[in-house]
Amino acid sequence: MTQPPHDEQTASSRQELHEQVEETRQSLGKTVEALAAETDVRAKAQERAADIRQQAAVKAGQLKARAAEAAHQMQDKLPDSVTDKAARAAEQARSGAARAGHVLQEKAPEPVRQKAAQGARTARDNRTLLLAAGVGAALVWLACRRGKK
């Protein structure tokens, strides 16, 4: 028979031996569970993906807020004539889109209608960003136009 390690005492009775075996089993079971958890690559990947999604959502919210603030600042700096033109252009775009939407509803197949509705919802959900992009485009256009004179 093998001798026990020097730091452990041998069991003096059968009951103590059973208790030692049970403790060893529990300890070994915990060790196996810990190792299994560490090697569960799929679970770790899912946790990491969830963390990244959450970080992306937070970052997107921050960027959206910054874009809205930048749009408001640009609007405040623009002369009234530019904002009036932008408002008229936006109204014309809305009415043109409405006319196009009616034609689309009458003549387009169902999958196209669904995609168009999805695009319209996205545009409505991101109005501030679209407005900021429109104002930015107007500013670039004005700067280019003034540069040619």
Name 105's Cβ contacts closer than 8 Å, sequence gap at least 6.
Answer: 113
Q: What is the mean pLDDT of residues 63-88?
A: 78
Q: For residue 52, what pLDDT band results from cuts at 50, 70 and 90?
A: confident
Q: What is the mean pLDDT of residues 91-102?
A: 80
Task: Name which of 126, 139, 135, 140 is nearest 65 in CA terms.
Answer: 126
**pLDDT averaged over the chain?**
79
Q: Which residue has the higher pLDDT, 100 or 54?
A: 54
Its pTM stands at: 0.33
The pLDDT of residue 8 is 59
* 110 within 8 A of 54, measured Cβ to Cβ: no
Tell whether the torsion through CA atoms of 106, 111, 115 and 118 is positive or negative. positive
- Whether residue 101 is predicted with pLDDT greater than 60 in this model: the reply is yes
Q: Which residue has the higher pLDDT, 89 or 147?
A: 89
- Whether residue 28 is predicted with pLDDT greater than 80 in this model: the reply is yes
Q: Which residue has the higher pLDDT, 9 or 41?
A: 41
How many other CB atoms are there within 10 angstroms of residue 138's CB atom?
A: 17
Dist CA 59 CA 84 (whole Å) = 33
* 64 within 8 A of 129, measured Cβ to Cβ: yes
Picking from 25-34, 79-88, 114-123, 127-136, which range would have the lowest pLDDT averaged per residue? 79-88
